[in-house]
Amino acid sequence: MRFYLFLAVHAVILMCFCLESGEGVCENKNLTKACKKRSFVQLILTKHLPTFNENPKGICRWLKELKHQSGLCKRRRGLAEIINATRELTLNSCTHDFQYEQWPCLRLKRIFKKVYRETSFVYSLTTSAFMWLVARACAAGTLEDCACAATPGKHSGAHAHVNVTAGGWRWGGCGDNTKFARRLTYKFFQLKKKGDKAQNILRYNGEVGVKIVIRSEQKVCKCHGLSGSCTYRTCFKRLQPFTVITEELKSRYHSAERISSDNDLWRPLNEKEWRDEEKDTTDTLRYLDTGPNWCQFTVGRRCKDTDNCATLCCGRGVRLGQRTIREPCKCRWRNDTAYQVVCEQCDKEETVYHCQ
């Protein structure tokens, strides 16, 4: 009897070891007892990424522990570049937008231990970035046959893989890039798949990211018909710069709501409910665990103004300093810089705030 117990314990340890190998430590005891596989978002934001300058497909091999994503990455031409860009865009826009927040979009490894407010945010941000980049790559023509993957009407299909033939293009033209991007994002992040509660809630946040990209798009219509009148009217979507999406998500970060772990308020939505909810403009980010107190990390951080310092420094007070900085000034649009704005450098006295 004791022998069997011994064996069983060994087997469990062995299993855990196998699962864990190369994936870091799983500390998420709250959510799942077993060791947890890292998600794509966690991997892309936390694992060190070598540069794949010559071979963009290298990232597909780098993703090999995620069978689903690396498979897609290898199969579809152009997706590897998007994955690379997703990481860059997510990190850049996150750190840029959160430089005066208590959580400066750093310590990413730490936030993936549980489902914090920050975890939910980066999850939805990554999903948005991915979808936005897919839609953009479609418009640039760098992703394999995307816009024509779903022609409205006869040739539409529920899968992201259906290609429109030349005949289909001649008959009904190409479909909408956003719809394709949404479908590919759902497929890539497996947003429809049901998992444990933590995974479900992260996927829900991913869906919020998708919805925000969809909502950020502007519909533009053009009349063309008899003498340019509106007998025919064709509409198309206009992709907004990603800054708009980040701003929107940032405000959701602040209004995120906590779902208590023992009270299962949240359940996965079915197709119809999702559509109903898509119209609802107030979908919020949701998280499970109260995050770490970021106040302890704000000592010495720079803050912007009195209002910002009050929150950022957690009431510890501000250290004021005067300094002279060289700042761009007298900016104007100039010929010799290829549609860039050129500024002169001026000296400017400035008050700098730092948290104590």
CA-atom Rg of the chain in angstroms: 24
Give the x-and-dash track for 240-259 against another protein (CB under 8 A). Answer: xx-xx--x------------
- Residue placing its CB nearer to another protein in the complex, 299 or 346: 346
Length of the chain: 356
**By CB under 8 A, residue 140 contacts another protein:** yes
Closer Cβ to another protein, 16 or 331, answer by number: 331
Query: Which stretch, 4-12, 18-26, 288-296, 322-330, contacts another protein (CB under 8 A)?
Result: 322-330
Least distance from another protein to the Cβ atom of residue 262, Å: 36
Examine residue 340 and tell whether it contacts another protein (CB under 8 A): yes
Name which of 120 and 151 has its Cβ closer to another protein: 151
Least distance (Å) between residue 159 CB and another protein: 11
Stretch that binds another protein, among 21-29, 123-131, 225-233, 292-300 (CB under 8 A): 225-233
Q: How far is the CB of 93 from another protein (least distance, A)?
A: 10
**Site string (169-198) toward another protein, x via CB under 8 A:** xxxxxx-xx-x-------------------
Strands 286-287 and 257-258: parallel
- Please state the separation of Cα 174 from the chain's center in Å: 27
- Binding mask 83-102 vs another protein (x if CB under 8 A, - otherwise)? -------------xx--x--
104 contacts another protein (rule: CB under 8 A): no
Give the nearest distance from C-beta 274 to another protein in angstroms. Answer: 12
For the four alpha carbons of 52, 56, 57 and 61, in that order, the dihedral sign comes to positive
Closer of 27 and 350 to another protein (Cβ): 350
Q: Which among 27-35, 44-52, 108-116, 336-344 is the span making contact with another protein, rule CB under 8 A?
A: 336-344
Count the Cβ atoms, other than its own, within 10 Å of residue 34.
13
- Supply the minimum distance, in Å, between the C-beta of residue 38 and another protein: 30
Q: Which of 11, 12, 235, 299 binds another protein (CB under 8 A)?
A: 235
Minimum distance from residue 247 beta carbon to another protein (Å): 6
Edge-to-edge order in the sheet of strand 302-303 = 302-303, 341-355, 318-333
Closer CB to another protein, 137 or 201, in the complex: 137
* Residues found near another protein in the complex (CB under 8 A): 96-97, 100, 136, 138-141, 145, 147-148, 150-154, 156, 158, 166, 169-174, 176-177, 179, 219-222, 224, 226-228, 230-241, 243-244, 247, 275, 279, 304, 308, 327-333, 335-341, 343
